[in-house]
Amino acid sequence: MKDDIKKDDKQAFAVLFKDFVTKIPKVGDLVKGKVISCTNGEVRLDINGLTTGVVRGKEMFAESREFANLKIGDEVEATVMEQENENGEMELSFRVAGHQLVWERARTWMKDGITIPAKIIDANKGGLMMQVDALMGFMPVSQLSPEHYPRVPGGDKNRILEHLKGLVGKELQVKLIDVGEKDDKLIVSEKEVWEDEQKAVLDSYKVGDTVEGEVSALTSFGAFIKFGEGLEGLVHISEIVWQRIDHPKDALKVGQNVKAQIIDLNKSKIYLSIKRLVDDPWKKVKDTYKIGQIVEGEVHKVEPFGLMVKLDNDIHGLAHVSELSDEPITDVKKLAEKFTIGQAYKFEIVSIEPSEHRLGLKLEGVKGKAKRKESKKDETSEEKTEEVKEEKKEEEVKAE
């Protein structure tokens, strides 16, 4: 009987011991504990009544605010560095735990779409180095809001860097768009915060609305207009005026007040048109101009394919290179030598296509493509007639 009791006790103890061992945290585990003492630069924790852990030396380094101003009774997290040190205590680290905590917090911020402050520490040609909580992050240039985006003519990388350097020291509101603890990658975006703000304000606008604002920037592809409560829209170069222009600066200047119509709202992106608030002059072009009419037009551009000619403030036409001389012009330099930009010449209107905003011209006195084809056709026809006559004569002689 006694032997059986002893056997049962041993089995019970084995189960308890096994359970105790399995509960002991392993190296690398994140554990919770209550502070039981803070003395001589060491913090001791009670780890669920299983053991006592100690944090000391470099492992006391406060990675984040969780480990500042600790007092007895506080519950904190730490990382196991050794299961048992020379004093029989579990060796713990706030430094590693802090690192894990800030990354966990970062993942939560990204998942929940939380906006957080981040300070610009440095800049390179690709973007900005950002201090995010206790982590170092990066913001690519493409993720800056329009307010801070470097609109540099020609995309000069040195000027872009100069602009970015000027932002160092600023604190921006950002969102996390990529969190990778394994490869120490943290990507942030100011643009996403700006887009969220845009969406909220855009609820009061719809396609077709007319807005009034200020030209904030000009690029080769269009003009940016600031309006309303911090909103900004793009007027594509083709939507500035009804005429063809080489660059938005030909029609607009930064700081100019303009009216524009909203033509598309794509999420937070706003597309505007200035020209649509003005009647399309091409609708009435046939009231002023007729095919065959001789007009005087000013050359405003020389292209390899011909001349862009200004007939009036609204209507521009094209004189194709084949309509400028009866002899082929193959060299654009010769074309530029023959016609001077800004000078007026007389042209004949050869085609009018209002729906396509096209008007074709030929230099007065030049036969042009149509006439040359017609002439060749007539010559061919005459040759064939003569051939038929000769054949008939031959047949008559043979018959005689």
Least confident among 142-151, 214-223, 388-397 = 388-397
Query: Among all chains, which residue has been given the structure tokens 């392993």?
Result: 26
Phi (first) and psi of residue 297, to 5 degrees? -135, 150
Mean pLDDT of the chain: 82
279 vs 241, 242, 246, 249, 305, CA distance in Å?
11, 9, 22, 22, 29
The helix (run of H) or strand (run of E) holding residue 395 is helix 368-399
Model pLDDT for residues 73-108, shown as the tens digit of each residue: 988 888 898 988 988 899 988 877 667 778 888 999
**Residue with structure tokens 């911090």?**
230
Residue owning tokens 């036969």: 367
User: Could you read off the pLDDT of 187-216 as tens digits, one per residue?
Assistant: 999 999 988 887 777 888 899 999 999 999
**Taking residues 11-15, what's their average pLDDT?**
52
The confidence score (pLDDT) of residue 8 equals 57
How far is 50 from 27, CA to CA, in rounded Å?
Answer: 15
**What confidence tens digit (pLDDT) does each residue in 20-48 have?**
455 678 888 888 899 998 877 788 999 98
Contact (CB, 8 A) for 139 and 190:
yes
This prediction's pTM: 0.51
Note whether 242 and 357 are within 8 A (CB).
yes
Query: Contact, 83 vs 24, CB < 8 A?
Result: yes
pLDDT digits (tens, 9 = 90+) for 161-187: 999 999 999 999 999 999 988 888 999
Under the phi-then-psi rule, with left for phi > 0, alpha for psi from -120 to 50, and beta for the rest, what region is 40?
left
Separation CA 186–CA 237 (nearest Å):
37
pLDDT score, position 229: 79
Please tell me the distance from the alpha carbon of residue 345 to that of residue 366, in angstroms, as a whole number. Answer: 13
CA distance 366 to 292: 13
Helix, strand, coil % over all residues of the chain, rounded to 5: 35, 35, 30
Query: CA angle 353-355-360, nearest 5°?
Result: 20
Look at residue 391 in the predicted model and tell me its pLDDT: 42
Instruction: Give the integer Cα–Cα distance in Å for 326 and 303.
Output: 18
Residue 276's pLDDT is 93
Structure-token pair, residue 238: 């083709």
Residue 299 has pLDDT above 60, yes or no: yes
Could you tell me which residues come within 8 angstroms of residue 194 by beta carbon, excluding any fewer than 6 positions away?
A: 145, 146, 147, 268
* pLDDT score, position 374: 44
Task: Dump pLDDT digits (tens) for 382-392.
Answer: 444 444 444 44
Using the predicted structure, report yes or no on whether residue 275 has a pLDDT greater than 50. yes
| Confidence category of residue 326, pLDDT binned at 50, 70, 90 | confident
Residue 116 has pLDDT above 90, yes or no: yes
Of the CA atoms within 13 Å of residue 379, those in its CB half-sphere come to: 6
Which tens digit of pLDDT belongs to each residue from 344-364?
999 999 999 998 899 999 999
List the structure tokens of 291. Answer: 């095919």
- How far the first Cα of the chain sits from its last, in Å, is 154
Give the separation between CA 323 and CA 351, rounded to whole angstroms.
Answer: 12
Largest CA distance in the chain: 154
CB 131 within 8 A of CB 203: no
**Residue 53 — very low, low, confident or very high, per pLDDT cuts 50/70/90?**
very high
What is the predicted pLDDT for the residue at 67?
63
pLDDT at 308 over 70: yes
pLDDT level of residue 266 (50, 70, 90 thresholds): confident
Read off the pLDDT of residues 238-261 as tens digits, 9 standing for 90 and up. Answer: 999 988 888 999 899 999 999 999
DSSP, collapsed to helix, strand or coil, labels residue 294 as strand
Q: What is the pLDDT of residue 32?
A: 87
CA-to-CA distance for 297 and 289, rounded, in angstroms?
Answer: 12
- C-alpha 66 chain-centroid distance: 38
Tell me which H or E stretch contains 242.
Answer: none
**Residue 322, both tokens:** 């084949």
Give Cα separations from 215 to 27, 77, 218, 249, 296 (angstroms).
61, 54, 8, 11, 35
Greater confidence (155 vs 232) lies with 232
| Cα-trace Rg, the chain | 40
Q: What does the pLDDT read at residue 169?
A: 92
**pLDDT of amino acid 291:** 95
Q: What is the model's pLDDT at position 200?
A: 73
Beta-bridge mates of residue 139? 128
Residue 367's pLDDT band (cuts 50, 70, 90): confident
Is residue 369 very low, low, confident or very high in pLDDT (cuts 50, 70, 90)? low
